[in-house]
Amino acid sequence: MTQIDQTESTRLNSYFDRIERLEEEVKGIRADIREIYAEAKGDGFDPKVMRQVLRLRKMTPADRAEAEFLLDAYKSALGME
């Protein structure tokens, strides 16, 4: 078993403190995002569709075209068109 000296222990504790602080910030940001979706829903927009569009916006045009092509192909194969 490896011993951790005082300096390493202090550095390790600092890492955990920073991670915990960032996790708290992420919680706050997630709450803000939920509020925006609720506001959009109140204005008549569909949050589920908004999430899908956000996923598509993060893709490259080529990846988005491939995903849309596959979705259409699968829907067609299942008789959904």
pLDDT tens-place string over residues 33-48: 999 999 999 999 999 9
CA angle 46, 49, 51 (to 5 degrees): 110
Q: Are 31 and 39 in contact (CB under 8 A)?
A: no
Give the position of tokens 């550095």. 11
Q: How far apart are CA 68 and CA 74, in angstroms?
A: 10
Q: How far apart are CA 76 and CA 79, in angstroms?
A: 5
SS3 60: coil
Question: 37 φ, ψ to 5°?
Answer: -60, -40
pTM: 0.73
pLDDT in tens, 47-73: 999 999 999 999 999 999 999 999 999
